[in-house]
Each structure stands twice: as structure tokens, then as C-alpha cells.
Amino acid sequence: MNRKPWSLFITFNLLAALLMAAAPAPQSIDTNPPEQPVKLIFIHHSTGENWLTDGYGDLGRLLGENNYFVSDTNYGWGPDAIGDRTDIPNWIEWFASENTPTYLNALFQENGQNSDYTRSLADPGGENTIIMFKSCFPNSDLSGSPNDPPGTYEELSVAGAKHVYNTILPTFAAHPDKLFIVITSPPLSDPTHAANARAFTQWLLNDWLLENKYPYKNVAVFDFYNILTYSSAHHRIDKDQVEYIQGTGNTLAYPSGDDHPSIEGSLKASADFVPLLNYFYHQWIASGPPQIVNESAAPTAAGDNPVNPSPSGILYGSLIDNFEGQAPAGTSGWEAYFEDAAQSNIACTPDTQFAQSGSISLRFDFKVQADSWATCGIYFDTIQSWASGNGITFQLHADQVNLPYHIDVYSGSPEARTTYVYHAATPAGSDSSWVQVDIPWSSILRVEWEENAGTPLDPTFVTGFSIGIATAPEVPESGTIWLDELSLTGDAAPAEQPHATSLPSVPEEEPATWLPNLPCVGSIFFMVFVVGMIWIFQRR
């Protein structure tokens, strides 16, 4: 009897079985509703209202059945009727302006309905945990070109829309106890700028968080746009994985007589969205306890170079500038300004002969006439979040003690900065050595000549920093101050590595449990041993 075919059959099947056993089964995705009611608020206009409404999109009812207590905003809602304004450029007013704390407080506290949907749950109390927001279909009419990079101001263009979402991201980082869900704008029937709209939604979905090295799991994107462009297009959970099927068209496939999505399209979006929202929620909760550091601060992010700002200028680490030759990202470097006066002069330069650490410090030489001023500062192109720290710290040296100076931190927006100030004098010992200066946020107050004078700085919206001299009447000042190691203070523990939340990858696989508890090399020897025994059996 020829045993070779039979023994080879055994060999191949045994190897196949071992290899299959060595390939662990994928971990299932959790699409179950939250165990306890979770408060959710949706910022929208007419398309969102239709989506929520019973008998149209049924989203409000379905969310309630999944343990979400739903509230919403609409036209006329909120302080300054901010609910009227939900176009893409308006998100900066909502999430990155000097009025943002007021709007967010109202948004977090809102528990009312502005659309017709069934709410079967009782209000569980507390703040809204999930913040959903969406612009309506006119916002898919984006000018420009599909590959335009982020611009420098907000407008309805590809570049302007990218600028907006980069600008508001620091606010989301400063509120890790909230889950922010971006709902992309629905498509238009007009194909004129359809390719731009598709390119922008793809950027939001795939590139936005990655380009910014965003390190938290509290931001996710649902592609409402894609679902409405083709009958087989989806963004959903299917067979324990996130499934994204892109439509073959870029225009509205579910019209209702105009560009409002139809009942059919809205129901399709609800079916895709609710299980995906459950998944986003569990991913966020699993990432760790959602806590705010120092009231509004976000944890410091780890990364390949955590002390450097991300491409959009969001500072996730502690170091602002160590003056070793490279200007802080998003600035033109340190710039000197002074009041026009013939007898005043100022220089703001790197000093390679004197430094507290490294080889360079910032030297601020000034001669300021009476009743005048001079500053040396950096000014950011985009809003920064400095909320990962409890304040500002730096090393200071001066050519004399008791020299009055002030620290300015600028807030608001790069186009309309507001000023917060801290007054001090060069401390004892600073004339002979470096002295560390620590300034908490609560001590940096709105200047007296601006609205809301005396209110503390909100470090979530920083657009600049300077050191300056302001002289009293008939009292000129002159001298030199050196700065080094300008940083944030009191940073939280590092968070995990950056990741994308819009299209999550399949979770890490778990090892098979029934094989012998061998290391990888031991497993190889085990298979070689089995094959060798079969070979010996063949030779007998």
C-alpha cells in the first residue's frame, strides 16, 4: 500500500489546522446601546429636523430606543440666537470664539425639543454628553479645487471649510468628557461643485484627525453625504466591522422634490447611523475615564514629538518655545512692537551667548519713554488650546531687579484678538542667575480697557503671547530681560498615541486559547516536530 498520498494529506491538513489556530479570531465590535441613558443634543436645521421626525427619518425615536435621551437646537435657539447659524463658517462662532464658553454652557444644559420626535425616556439629569452637529445641503456648494489645502480664514470653499474644522478641534480636545459627532452635509442635486463636496467629506473622514495628530477618541465623523449619493452607498457596522461603501455619484440620489433628502434616504441614514453611534460611544468610553483636567483642560498627548504643535497649530504638549532656532509652528517668530516715539527703541533677538538650557535664549532689550509701551511676542495663525496646562512657566534673567514688566496672552481669534495681562517685576536673584516664573491662568486677567475687564483667561482660545514694558507718566524704563524654556505648567499624564476615529480599524486580535502555551519560536518547533514525525513514519 502506498502511504505517501495519505501521509501528505495528513501533513497538509495538520499544517492548515495549526495555521488556522494560530490566526486569532477578530474581536467583536460593540454595537449594543449604552447600559444607562445618555444625554445627546443635535445641532441642525431643516434636514436634521426631518431626519429626527417620527414618520420621516425616525432618528429621534430610534435613538431613544437605544438609550439616548435626545434634545436638539433649531432656528432661534440659544444665546444670541446662535441656533440660526449652522453653516460651516459659523462653527467657529460656536466652538472657537470668545463667546464659545457661553454657547457651550447653554448647549450642555439644554434638555428641550425643537423637532417632532418621540422621547420615551425620562431626563436622566446632568449635562448632555454627546454633541452632534450638521450643516445643511447648501454647504456642499464648496468653491475651489478638491485638493486645496486648509486655508487661513473661514468661507464656503474646500480650503475655508478645512480651516474651520482645524480651528474648532482644540475645543473638542479641551472637553474629553464629551463625545463630538460630526455629521457631513447632505449632497446637492447640482453637480457643479459635487467633486469638491466629495473631496471635503473624504478629508473629514480620513485625514482631518490624522493630519492634526489628534490623540483622543472623543471625535467621530458620520458620512451622511455619502449615504445619500447612491443606493448601495453606506457608512455602517456590518459583520463586526466598520463598512464604508462609497457611492458612484456625488449628487443627491434621494431627493424629496428639492434638495432635502427624502423619507427613504433619511430612513437609510438612520439604519446606518444608530449602530455606528453605539460603536463610537463604546470606543470613547473604553479609551479611559472621560475627565477634564483643571476644569477645562485636556490631557497632554503623547506622540513622536509631543512638545511640538500639530500641523494646524494645536498645542498638545507642554513646551511653547525653547528658542533653539525654530519659531513656534503657526507663527512668524518673535516680533517687536512699540508705540511710535522718537526716543523709544526695542530689540527682540536670539542670544547665543547666554541661555538657561540649550544654547540660545530670547533677549529683550528696551528703552521706552515715559507713558509709552513696547512688547516682544509671537502671534499664531490659528487658535491654540493651552488648556493642557494650569498656567505659563518660563525661566527669566534680567540686568536689574524690580524692573516692571507684564505678560500678555491674546485670545479670541487671529483676526480679532483680545488681551489678558499679568503684571510683575523682575524678582530678587534674577540679576545674577536664572529664576523660574510660574503664572496660573487665574492670574492672567482681561485688560481694563476691553469688555469684561478683570475676567480670567480661558486657555482654550489662545492666539498669541508677549512680554512687554508699559511705563508710567514721567517714568521711562530701560533694561534687558532674557527668557528661556517657555512652557505650560501642571500638564496631565500623557494620553495614548494618535489615531483616527472616523474610520476605525478592526480591533486588535486576541490569541487563540487552546494551543500549548508556547512562545513564537516554541510554536515553530512544535510544527516542525509534528512534520518530522510524519516524515519518519513515511520512511519506515
Q: Can you state the angle between helices 158-173 and 194-206, rounded to 10 degrees?
A: 20
**Which residues fall within 8 angstroms of residue 540, CB to CB, at 6 or more apart?**
none
Check residue 342 and give its pLDDT. Answer: 58
Residue 391 parent element (H or E): strand 391-398
- The more confident residue out of 341 and 304 is 341
> Residues 510-526: what's their mean pLDDT?
36
Query: Residue 439 belongs to what H/E stretch?
Result: strand 435-440
In 145-187, beta strands by DSSP E: 179-183
Residue 371 near residue 471 (C-beta atoms within 8 A)? yes
pLDDT digits (tens, 9 = 90+) for 14-26: 444 444 444 444 4
Q: What's the pLDDT tens digit per position in 158-182?
A: 999 999 999 999 899 889 999 999 9
**118 pLDDT above the threshold of 60:** yes
Q: Which residue has the higher pLDDT, 264 or 384?
A: 264
Q: Give the chain's domains with CATH numbers.
A: 4-25+509-539 (no CATH), 38-286 (3.40.50.1110), 319-489 (2.60.120.430)
Is the pLDDT confidence value at 293 over 50?
no
Cα 412 to its chain centre, rounded Å, is 18
Task: Phi first, then psi: give them for residue 231, nearest 5 degrees.
Answer: -65, -35
Can you give the pLDDT at residue 288?
67
Task: Tell me how far apart the alpha carbons of residues 102 and 95 are, in angstroms, rounded to a whole number.
Answer: 10
d(CA 431, CA 345): 22
For 275-289, the pLDDT digits (tens) are 999 999 999 999 864
Task: Report the C-alpha gap between 53 and 116 in whole angstroms.
Answer: 5
Smallest CA-to-CA distance from 279 within 235, 342, 319, 314 is with 235
Rounded to whole angstroms, the Cα distance separating 298 from 290 reads 10
Q: For residue 60, give the nearest of 281, 233, 267, 260 by alpha carbon.
A: 267
pLDDT tens by residue, 413-449 = 787 789 999 999 999 999 999 999 999 999 999 999 9
DSSP structure class, residue 426:
P
For residue 40, is pLDDT > 50? Answer: yes
Query: Residue 224 — φ and ψ, nearest 5°?
Result: -55, -40
- Residue 299's pLDDT is 31
- pTM, entire model: 0.60
Q: What pLDDT sits at residue 413?
A: 75
Instruction: Pick the range with the lowest mean pLDDT from 207-216, 340-349, 464-473.
Output: 340-349
